Amino acid sequence: MAPFIPLKARIQLGLFSFVSGRAIGSDDRVNRRLLSWLEPLVPADPNPKAGVCSADVMIDSTRDLFVRIFVPSDPSNGEKSEKLPLVVYFHGGGFAFFSPQSAAYDDWGRRMCSELHVVIVSVNYRRSPENRCPAPYDDGIDVLRFLDSGGLRSVDILSGFDVSLGSCFLAGDTAGGNIVHHVARRWAAKIDSWEKININGAIPITPMFGGEKRTDGDIQNQNLPVLTMQRMDWYWKVILPEGADRNHEFAHPFGATTKLEERFPPVLVVAAGYDILRDWQLKYYEWLNEMQHNVRLVMFPDSFHAFYLSRQCEEWMKLIDEMKKFVEEHRSL
């Protein structure tokens, strides 16, 4: 049985599969020039648009590490003097595709900002196959260092807002969900080195984990739209360090001997029933739960991988509600 996918979303998913497939060469390189012609990018807009302003801030031009910042602009949602939580967001795309400038992620960033009433810092991390892991994890930590050192002070659209670095959350979908886990561990491992940033929670949305053994989810959902087994195998091939298999800790973090850092934050795991990654998402939740970590699972049994990127899929509002409850529960007062 296949999930119901609205027509517009099905067209968008089909277009992404077609374009990304054409951009992957026989040598596994990605033709970025071709993608630039076919993938719609959206510029930041400091003027209010649907209650949200945005701006791009460059952190390191040598690796094109920048963030797109989204901030609420509608005064009916609250006063500027209100302390706003900060959500550092890592986009999906199998570590190889998309950016905060992509139309889908610009729209998703705006929706999260408006509905959660938070400041979103969406990270343009380095992509594979040009940059294998741990490059995206390094970029994530460097963004946190930038924020911790007061990097937001010079952002014009944040003028007059009180952004609470003490109420910071990490969130991300698919590949970004994987990055959330590894960046949270790195932050917690050097907890004494941070002056202002406090990670209150982590929200991996349909996170991208895996292993050498095929799961029921791998087999049952291998030919669904968005993410097939063939594409997943390619992602892992160009993401992981040379010579590593899918049991490497970057893909398979739930080893039997792995111990989490004491300050690893509470986690909200989001899973989708019709997702080739479903069983790995559930395994991640079970692993955290077995360690008696503060973790909660939200399952969308009738949804597909990346359902929240489509406004036509009404489940995205339910996801926002769950995220809102999690942020309110764990934010610092």
Q: What does the pLDDT look like over 232-289, one tens digit per residue?
A: 999 999 999 999 999 999 999 987 667 899 999 999 999 999 999 999 999 999 999 9
Instruction: Among 71-85, 165-179, 212-226, name the one with the lowest average pLDDT.
Output: 71-85
With 60 as the cut, is the pLDDT of residue 137 above it? yes
pLDDT digits (tens, 9 = 90+) for 212-248: 999 887 788 777 767 888 999 999 999 999 999 999 9
Tokens of 212: 């050498």
Residue type, 319: L
With 70 as the cut, is the pLDDT of residue 333 above it? no
With 50 as the cut, is the pLDDT of residue 76 above it? no
Identify the CA nearest to 311 among candidates 83, 39, 6.
6
Q: 10 Å Cβ neighbour count for 270?
A: 25
pLDDT digits (tens, 9 = 90+) for 108-121: 999 999 999 999 99
In the predicted model, what is the mean pLDDT of the chain?
Answer: 92
Q: How far apart are CA 156 and CA 174, in angstroms?
A: 31
What pLDDT, on the 0 to 100 scale, is given for residue 289? 95
In sequence order, the 6+-apart residues with CB closer than 8 A to the CB of 200 are: 85, 166, 167, 168, 169, 265, 266, 330, 331, 332
Q: 10 Å Cβ neighbour count for 289?
A: 15
φ, ψ at 211 (rounded to 5°): -175, 170
pLDDT confidence bin for 74, thresholds 50/70/90: low
pLDDT confidence bin for 332, thresholds 50/70/90: confident
pLDDT confidence bin for 34, thresholds 50/70/90: confident
Q: 10 Å Cβ neighbour count for 275?
A: 24
What proportion of the chain, given as a percentage, has pLDDT over 70?
95
Residue type, 125: Y
Mean pLDDT of 309-332: 95
Residue type, 158: L
